[in-house]
Structures are given as structure tokens and as C-alpha cells.
Structure 1
């Protein structure tokens, strides 16, 4: 049995600073001194190695450099942090540089076999794999309603991701009466023991009916077919208990910090 500490070590070595061999068109991944910066997706993204080896003014300058890169483009940027990252004051320094904390999520890992079985779906609900434009538009519309935000930008991003490496991203949707009511994807990293479960959301009227579990099972079955040992999820407070009941364990937590062009640049100390 793999312990949580062993899973965390594997996660840090295999699931961070991952640069795809075939990035989506127009998207660039740059890794320098333990920092990965992703540009070209409309909103920037930054993540780091577990231990940056910087402190004080050097760390402030690093944060400001990447913030200013996206400020010059007029774009927001997400800086992904984990609770066990070092130095421990990265969150405070991000906030002083104008970033704002978002909802914390649990980083969960489970054996692929933990999710292979799900309870029966409601009558009339069908789950299928897709890369169809109309399905992706329907998924974006559903997600915009769930999160009360315009997520139409997801259409271009998902289609570019699926086109760049269709063998590494598999998108599933749940459909009822011709309408997309839920969706989620699984992402594979070549040579990794992990596959990532991402984007699982269900329309409010269809929540609590087993669709989330069925989508998880469909993705776990795909992972098992490829011989992937573990599944990793950044889980919301709503989905975390469901997955932990299925055997997943929390190995750390993650909090995204967002800077947007409308935010102040902040101060450094």
C-alpha cells in the first residue's frame, strides 16, 4: 500500500512543471529556475517546483516579474500554490504583489480501481466521449450557468487542447433529452503514474443523481485501459467527501492566486 507521504513525493516529481510535447496552437510553456509560465490561453498560468530556494526580496522580484509579463499583455494570471510549498510565505508575498486567493481545494489521489464502479444512471441520461464542437459549446453553456460566469472562452481552449494531443485528453459529457447536463475530462501525462481528473461539473437540477460518479467511472476505466495506477483530483469541498468515501486520500491542498489587470500592482517589502 502506497502511503500518503509516498504519494506526495510521486506527485511532486511527476505532476509539476509538466510541459506537453505537443502544446495547443499559440500556447507557450516556459520553464526557468523552477517556475513554469504558460502564455497564450487568454489567462496566464504560473506554477513552481515544490521548493523554490528563494526568499525575501528575490522572491518578491520573481513574483513581480511574472505578474508584469501578463500585465503588459493586459491579461489576468493564476499562480498555483500548494500548502506544502517552500518558502511557506509565498501566499503572503503573492497577496502583497496584488494577487487574490481563490477557493482552496484538496489535492486527492486514489487508486484507479477505486472509481471503476458507479451506481446506475437516471433513465434517459447517456455518457459519451466526444470532441464534437456542438457538444463543447453545450458544455460551455452549462458551465456558464453553473458558475454564473461567461465561460465561452473554454470552447476555443478545449478544442485546441483536444486537437493538439487527442491521445492525452479525453472529454466525456452526460446528455439528457438532447442537452449537456454534465461533463468532465481526463488528462494523461506520458510516463507518469498519474492521470488527472478535471472539470467535473453538473447542472444543479441533475446533481445528486449519480452522474458525477458515472463520469468518474468512465474516466477511471479509460485510465485502467492505459495501465495508469493513480488518479489525481483538485477537489472542491463538495466533491472531496465523495471521493474520499471511495478511497481517495488528501496529500496536500492547492489554492490559486489570481491577479487581474484591474487589480493594483501591490507593494513589495
Structure 2
């Protein structure tokens, strides 16, 4: 059973985010239920991000503890892992340096976790999403998400998730060798071993509402993203989440989605 009070560590990897990081931090500071700490890992930024956050922390007078760590550029997975290793809270909430939380995000998720102590990992929707059905899957207010379902669609978006710190001991960390679709890899491993649930409420604003792919950041490299997704499918097969024939179907399904994305991006231009 969980205690009545759950402390939260917010982990934010940061790379050249001087235009967005302060808005991101403010969205955490303004939570109706505040976290124990904010752990920021600067992944070798070459702009003024690190100095900007240093100044912000120096002028902050509130109760939240800040941890600011700097490392040579090694990728977002390494940065997240370094942040999670430093986290002291009962729960870890992930956030990216160009995204923002709605003010009640932590409060709503903590309310769910307090009421359902069997939930190990909880995500939410973002950018106004609300799921009613996806193919043959009906979505309730709280919908369990399996590793198998994640092979078809990544329902968890990084800045929406919060999970028990014990997952780090039981499942481990992000695969630092995978630069694209790395979050999908981690979610599959976590959901293979734990009770993972989607809270069907939109509590996060990602990327200022930019398109989900082909716009900027790592997701703009569609070819590498597809390689990452195919690697995640192989992971699902190796873990026994799906059998051989379903794995082959998933590969074909993924390639069809990849072609569709290319067409959509070209039509956008």
C-alpha cells in the first residue's frame, strides 16, 4: 500500500532549450500539488540554457528542491537516466524541456494513484486528446495499457507519465544506445512487468501544439524514427509479448504507417 503522502521527483532533460525551459519550469512550480524536487539534466547545451536555469534556481524562494546536473552531450536517454538516478521521491514524473503541464496535472494523477495503489505506471492524454475507441479497444476513464497494445500504438507520451521509483530497480532504465523511439522501448519493457494505466484526461501541452511527427526535434527524422519503432517490435517479439506471425504483421503495419507519415509531411510543405 502507498502512504497518504507521495513525494514526486520531476526529471527534465535539457538540450539547447533556452526559449522554452522557463515556461516548462513555471508549469511545474504552478502545480496545485507541488513535487518534492525538480531534477534538471543539461545534456551539453551550447546555448544559454544552463545559465538561465542556474539564475532561475538562485532566485527561486519556494519549497521545491532543485537539482541541476550538467553532462557532456550524450543523448536524451542518458540525460533521463542520470536524472532518475538522482531522484529521491516515491514517484518519478518525466517532463521535456519544451512541454508544459496543466496546473492540476500532478494533483489528478496523485489522486488516481492514491485510490488505486496497484497502478505502477500512469500516463495521461495531451493537447486536448480524449480516447473513446481505438480499433477494437474501448477506452474508459482509466484504461489498462499492455505491452502488446503499445506495439501497435504508443499511447504513453513522455511528459504525461508518472511511475513508482521501484520500477527503476525492477525494470531498469532507458536504453542509452537507442536515440529514436527510445521511450517506446522503455514503455514496452515496463508494461511487460507492471500494471500500466492511461488516465483519459488531457493534462499536458506538448511542443506548443506542433504536429506529432515530421516537424522538429528527433521526431522530424522519420527514417530513424521508423528504425527505432522496428527495433521496439523486435523487442516485443524477444520478450514473448507477441508470436512470430503477429510480429511479422506488426512490421508490415509499421512500414505502412511510415509511408503514410512521409506522404503527410510532403503534403504539409
TM tier relative to shorter chain: under 0.3
- TM-score (normalizing by structure 1): 0.26
**Higher RCO by CA contacts (8 Å cutoff, separation 6 or greater):** 1
User: Going by fraction, where is strand more abundant, 1 or 2?
Assistant: 1
- TM-score (normalizing by structure 2): 0.26
